[in-house]
Amino acid sequence: MSKNIEYDINRLRDYSSLFSRNEIQRWQKGNLYSIQKKADRYDKSKFIGSNKSHLNYLQYVYKALENQYRNEYVVKNSFLNQWLVKELGKSHSKAFNEFRVGNAIADLAMFNGVSKAFEIKTELDSDKRLNLQLENYRKVFNQVYLIVPHSKLELYKKYDSEIGIISFESSNKNHFHLKREAQNFNIIDAVEVMKILHGSEYKKIVINHYGSLPKMTSFNQFDICKELIYKIPNNTLNEYFIESMKDRGSDNALSCRFFKEFNQISLALKMNKVQKKELIDILKLPLYN
């Protein structure tokens, strides 16, 4: 697709609706109607008779969004592809989409040697709740980063100077620039950590630190483990927390080489490699027979 083709903003918004959680879940069940509908509405003459697949069409749509409509999905996916996927490949580590902390949800979170939260603000976003978001993230993450448009860099520089800033050019899909390193937050909030941990996770921490579990029931295990975890030195608790998150769930099915347009989809839906391959196989069905 030529970058010189300019698309109507309403068409781009309509394109962007394809990359949503609900749509992808329909595709996983073999329902590709939404893709077909968009192709019929905008691009039938270009794709009919071309022997292209639903996957080819989605890649075409993604390229249009990447060049002209860098919404949150595109920015997040580009950041995953250019930064986090490489980091994830270096060591035993884990990334999460929309990681809840207190009253806020971090757009992305990564756990390797340290814990990192990433909050994305596009040109379309407001900074109204940002102070509350940053306050929550600081309670459990060692480092917090804002990912913001270069055009709004001065606005976000005014926030907490210990927060790292990564900027991106809205017109350039390939460039994220580290503008300010995040400072390390060495004290984490044990109360908030307990709210994040699953029962099996906080019991494992107690066993690892104290050697065994005290007597407890399903009714009082949270309170008993909470009291024990509160007594763990903060640096040690931070290490336990990071290891718990790295062990949570299956390995991320992220790739910096194949089907990069769908990394954010697979992360959001917690797909493993088998599930991602199954989705890609479904999408390889012909768009027009």
- 15 has pLDDT over 90: yes
Span 157-174, average pLDDT: 83
Is residue 218 domain-resident? yes
Share of the chain above pLDDT 70, in %: 93
Per-residue model confidence (pLDDT) at position 172: 59
Question: What is the phi-psi region of residue 102: left when phi exceeds 0, alpha when psi lies from -120 to 50, beta otherwise?
Answer: left
For the chain, the domain total comes to 3
Domain boundary among the residues 153, 180, 207 is at: 180
Residue 97 sits in the same domain as residue 159: yes
Same domain, 140 and 225: no
Q: Mark residue 104 as left, alpha or beta (left: phi above 0; alpha: psi -120 to 50; beta: remaining).
A: beta
| Percent of the chain predicted with pLDDT > 90 | 69
Domain assignment present for 201: yes
Q: Angle at which helices 199-210 and 221-230 pack, to 10 degrees? A: 50
Mean pLDDT, to the nearest integer, of 3-30? 91
Check: CB of residue 186 under 8 Å from CB of residue 167: no
- Segments of the chain assigned E as strands: 94-101, 104-111, 115-120, 143-149, 164-168, 176-180
Please check the confidence at residue 71 and state whether its pLDDT lies above 90.
no
Instruction: Answer yes or no: is 239 within a domain.
Output: yes
* pLDDT over 60 at 2, yes or no: no
Q: Is 255 a member of any domain? A: no
Residue 55: the pLDDT is 96
For residue 41, pLDDT over 90 is answered with yes
CATH number at residue 85: 3.40.1350
| 275 and 207 belong to one structural domain | no
Q: Tell me the two tokens of residue 131.
A: 């102070």
Q: Answer with the one of 180, 206, 238 that is the final residue of a domain.
A: 180
Residue 108 is assigned to a structural domain of this protein: yes
Is residue 186 predicted with pLDDT exceeding 90? no
Cα 267-255-62 angle, rounded to 5 deg: 75
Structure-token pair, residue 158? 């005014």
- Inter-residue contact 95 to 84 (CB < 8 Å): yes
Q: What is the domain range of residue 175?
A: 74-180
Using a cut of 0.85, tell me whether the model's pTM lies above it. yes
pLDDT at 89: 57
